[in-house]
């Protein structure tokens, strides 16, 4: 890849992924229930080797994968991305036993992972999380916590957790109190069958599986740690710095799908003695949609390239990529709906689907306002 274009092999791979998403994954997605984990779809992603790519690819390849799947099947893209988000901390910070137990199952699409950071009172301000981990030196009879090294009991609530409450395990961030704010947060791997853990689904605008989790003295022990006590915020940020540019790629995929649909529609729809595309107002708006989409695409690729190169400015670039791409996708999809008119508001239309999908990425994994704060801090550093 140059600074301005993908190589021929990359373009070919992206084309294959778009076709695969439309032909193989879209039918499975259509059979799923909105707001629920689609296990047949996950199994297909595993069989096709796409989940494996999440854990073996660099940031740029992850972006190309997410963008291409989003173009043809947003549900497949989201299912794949949530597996990566939930399991990446295990890959990077887990013990050999944790990785051996869970990662092969995640890669195969047989185990569902989830990233449990947000809380009712700690959404954008993740360092303010209140899920409490209280020392439990006596251990537990079921082996879930304690032991010779002592353990903890988790008490509190998580909210707006993707794949909850149907995931098989959760990467959970709790306050262990080694220091104030972010310095007192620890990451744990918590299997879904741990006693005291329950949850319920939330009915959201977008069709993603999202829920609430309740922790009633859930036992965890040293063997459940992801990294060191008090270093959990680093685990979270390491994951988010990788996935933020690829959230931008997801947004770019939706924007490109909306743009292509608009070009096809306005180029054929007859009105006022010609086609809509002949009207200067329409042509100029489509030109603006295309320009913004291309700018977002290039910024996403640049951020991914910086991550792969180990650049020091990854937090700033990742935040810029997510900010511009998600805001651009909202703009493009909104204007695509406007240019299509009432037909795009019908249930089942591509743009009706994208209109519901495109709103959430401006909030999750750090709202647009949070990205601006990160960018400003990095600029003034």
Active site (catalytic) residues: 365
**What are φ and ψ of residue 359, in 5° steps?**
-75, -40
Q: Is the dihedral of CA 345, 347, 348, 354 positive or negative?
A: positive
Cβ(308)–Cβ(245) below 8 Å:
no
Report the distance separating Cα 20 and Cα 14, nearest Å.
10
Contact 316, 379 (CB under 8 A): yes
Q: How far apart are CA 324 and CA 292, in angstroms?
A: 9
**What burial letters (b/e) apply to 331-343, b meaning 16+ CB within 10 Å?**
bbbbbbbebbeee
Residue with tokens 């030196």: 137
Residue count of the chain, please give it: 381
| CA dist., res. 344 & res. 329, Å (int) | 16
Are the CB atoms for 219 and 142 separated by under 8 Å? yes
Tokens 């859930």 belong to residue: 218
β-sheet bridge partners, residue 169: 113, 191
Say which residue the tokens 């959201």 belong to: 204
Give the closest residue to 221 by CA, choosing from 281, 166, 152.
152
Picking from 36, 14, 37, 40, the residue whose alpha carbon sits closest to that of residue 26 is: 40
The Cα 360–Cα 338 span in angstroms is 20
Alpha carbon 203 to chain centroid distance? Answer: 18
């Amino acid at each position: 890849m140059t600074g301005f274009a993908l190589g021929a092999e990359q373009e070919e791979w992206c084309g294959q992924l778009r076709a695969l998403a439309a032909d193989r994954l879209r039918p499975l997605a259509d059979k799923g229930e909105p707001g629920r984990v689609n296990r047949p779809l996950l199994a297909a992603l595993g069989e096709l080797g796409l989940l494996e790519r999440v854990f073996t690819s660099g940031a740029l390849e992850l972006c190309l994968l997410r963008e291409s799947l989003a173009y043809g099947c947003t549900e497949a893209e989201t299912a794949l991305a949530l597996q990566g988000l939930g399991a990446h901390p295990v890959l990077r910070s887990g013990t050999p036993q944790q990785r051996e137990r869970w990662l092969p199952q995640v890669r195969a699409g047989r185990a569902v992972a989830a990233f449990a950071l947000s809380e009712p009172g700690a959404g954008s301000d993740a360092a303010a999380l209140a899920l409490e981990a209280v020392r439990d030196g006596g251990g537990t009879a079921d082996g879930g916590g304690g032991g010779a090294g002592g353990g903890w009991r988790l008490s509190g609530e998580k909210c707006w957790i993707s794949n909850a409450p149907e995931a098989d395990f959760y990467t959970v961030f709790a306050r262990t109190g080694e220091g104030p704010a972010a310095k007192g947060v620890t990451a744990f791997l918590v299997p879904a069958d741990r006693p005291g853990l329950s949850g319920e689904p939330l009915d959201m605008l977008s069709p993603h599986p999202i829920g609430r989790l309740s922790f009633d003295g859930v036992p965890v022990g040293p063997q459940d740690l992801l990294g060191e006590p008090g270093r959990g915020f680093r685990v979270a940020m390491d994951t988010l710095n990788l996935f933020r540019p690829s959230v931008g790629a997801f947004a770019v995929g939706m924007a490109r799908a909306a743009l292509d649909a608009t070009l096809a529609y306005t180029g054929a729809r007859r009105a006022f003695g010609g086609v809509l595309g002949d009207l200067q107002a329409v042509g100029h708006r489509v030109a603006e949609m295309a320009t913004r989409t291309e700018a977002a695409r290039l910024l996403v690729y640049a951020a991914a390239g910086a991550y792969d190169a180990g650049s020091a400015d990854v937090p700033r670039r990742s935040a810029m990529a997510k900010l511009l791409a998600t805001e651009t996708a909202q703009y493009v999809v909104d204007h695509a709906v406007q240019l299509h008119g009432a037909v795009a508001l019908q249930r089942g239309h591509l743009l009706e689907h994208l209109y519901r999908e495109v709103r959430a990425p401006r909030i999750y994994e750090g709202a647009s306002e949070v990205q601006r704060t990160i960018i400003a801090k990095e600029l003034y550093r």
